[in-house]
């Protein structure tokens, strides 16, 4: 898979079912019937919980338990939305806003930082380059959860615990982002173009911003997307470094509603509706930015 240029890989990835493929084009037979059955079974497995979530978000607390889970009961969505957004002084609204800040701001700056390093690793020869790239590769393999407890220790040591920074600053570091940026820069920015600009006397930062960056926009979207989703989905680190509910991201907030045994039963409809709302931006981003997802996945990116 590494032998095709990136542009070609992205084109193939986005052309999906379009390109006619001689192999596999066969009349509908027993084998393909079996294939459809297997694929449809997996589709049902993948989509049923989300279908349930959408239905459940329209139900009141009693109906959640007394009516059949996969079909509508009394339509209570508007009340659920009002409850979710206003309960406890609008806590959920606050969490949603926090998540947007953490994932949006963190994702953006993380993307910029990754892009700078990835570009340098791809396009400059300098002492220590291989060492740095080795560190990046090693760090890609270290999952966030391994790092979370040590991070928590350091963050409490420097009195950063329970601030926005405790979540925001560590999320700026994205080894996988650097890794992807290096591949994108290698593939999408031609050396000849850079050399020509240098001959014309352009400075390196100018070359980076004016020549390289426009060519790297698709790669930037991919890197931003992955980091946005990673931050939006992160749970362990916020759980241990934050104690003030006003700073919680939406995941952690929902989890605390879910943890609280006393409030639990009264909050079911809000937990469900809140989960539904928190999933929506990700599904929308996923649907509209599909080819960028796949461009990143093609390189075996890390899981949440």
Partner 1 sequence: METPAVVESPPASSARRAKQPARLARRRFQPRMLIPYLFVLPFLVLFIAFFVAPLVYAFQQSLYKTERSGLGFGPPKIIWAGAENYLAVLKDPQFWDGFWRVLLFGAVQIPVMMLVALLMALLMDSAVIRFRRFFRLAFFVPYAVPIVIAAIMWGFFYSPTASPIVQTFIALHLPAPVFLGPTATLWSIANISTWEFTGYNMIIFYSALQSIPQEIYESGRLDGLSETGIALRLKLPLIVPALILGVLFSIVGSLQLFNEPIILKNLTGSAITTHYTPNIFAYNVAVVNTDFNYGGAIAVILGVVTFVFSFGFLRLTRGRLGV
Q: Under rule CB under 8 A, which residues in 204-243 are in contact with partner 1?
A: 204-205, 208, 215, 218, 229, 232-233, 235-236, 239-240
Contact segment (CB under 8 A) with partner 1 among 74-82, 85-93, 258-266 equals: 258-266
Q: Provide the token pair at 214.
A: 């426009």
Please identify, using beta-carbon distances, which residue of 92 and 152 lies nearer to partner 1.
152
In the complex, minimum distance from the CB of residue 221 to partner 1, in angstroms, rounded to a whole number: 10
Give, as ranges, the residues between 136 and 195 that touch partner 1 (CB under 8 A).
139, 141-143, 145-147, 149-154, 157, 169-170, 172-173, 175, 178, 182-183, 186-188, 190-195
Taking CB under 8 A as the rule, does residue 261 contact partner 1?
yes
Please identify, using beta-carbon distances, which residue of 77 and 173 lies nearer to partner 1.
173
Please identify, using beta-carbon distances, which residue of 42 and 266 lies nearer to partner 1.
42
Give, as ranges, the residues between 7 and 26 that touch partner 1 (CB under 8 A).
7, 9-13, 16-17, 21-26
Contact segment (CB under 8 A) with partner 1 among 33-41, 72-80, 82-90 equals: 33-41
In the complex, minimum distance from the CB of residue 116 to partner 1, in angstroms, rounded to a whole number: 5
């Amino acid at each position: 898979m590494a032998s095709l240029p990136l542009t070609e890989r992205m084109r193939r990835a986005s052309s999906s079912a379009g390109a006619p493929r001689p192999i596999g084009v066969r009349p509908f037979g027993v084998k393909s019937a079996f294939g459809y059955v297997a694929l449809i079974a997996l589709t049902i497995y993948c989509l049923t919980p989300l279908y349930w979530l959408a239905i459940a978000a329209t139900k009141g607390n009693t109906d959640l338990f007394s009516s059949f889970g996969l079909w509508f009961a009394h339509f209570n969505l508007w009340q659920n939305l009002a409850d979710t957004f206003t309960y406890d002084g609008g806590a959920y609204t606050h969490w949603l806003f926090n998540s947007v800040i953490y994932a949006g701001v963190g994702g953006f700056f993380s993307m910029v930082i990754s892009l700078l390093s990835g570009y340098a690793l791809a396009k400059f020869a300098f002492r220590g380059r291989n060492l740095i790239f080795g560190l990046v590769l090693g760090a890609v393999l270290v999952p966030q959860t391994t790092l979370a407890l040590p991070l928590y220790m350091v963050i409490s040591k420097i009195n950063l615990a329970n601030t926005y920074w405790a979540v925001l600053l560590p999320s700026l570091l994205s080894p996988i982002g650097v890794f992807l940026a290096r591949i994108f820069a290698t593939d999408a920015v031609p050396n000849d173009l850079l050399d020509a600009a240098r001959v014309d006397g352009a400075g390196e930062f100018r070359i980076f911003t004016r020549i390289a960056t426009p060519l790297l926009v698709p790669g930037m979207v991919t890197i931003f997307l992955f980091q946005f989703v990673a931050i939006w989905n992160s749970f362990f680190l916020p759980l241990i470094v934050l104690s003030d509910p006003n700073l919680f991201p939406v995941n952690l907030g929902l989890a605390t509603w879910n943890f609280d045994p006393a409030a639990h039963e009264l909050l079911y409809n809000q937990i469900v509706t809140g989960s539904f709302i928190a999933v929506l931006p990700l599904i929308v981003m996923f649907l509209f930015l599909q080819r960028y997802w796949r461009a990143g996945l093609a390189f075996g990116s890390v899981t949440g």
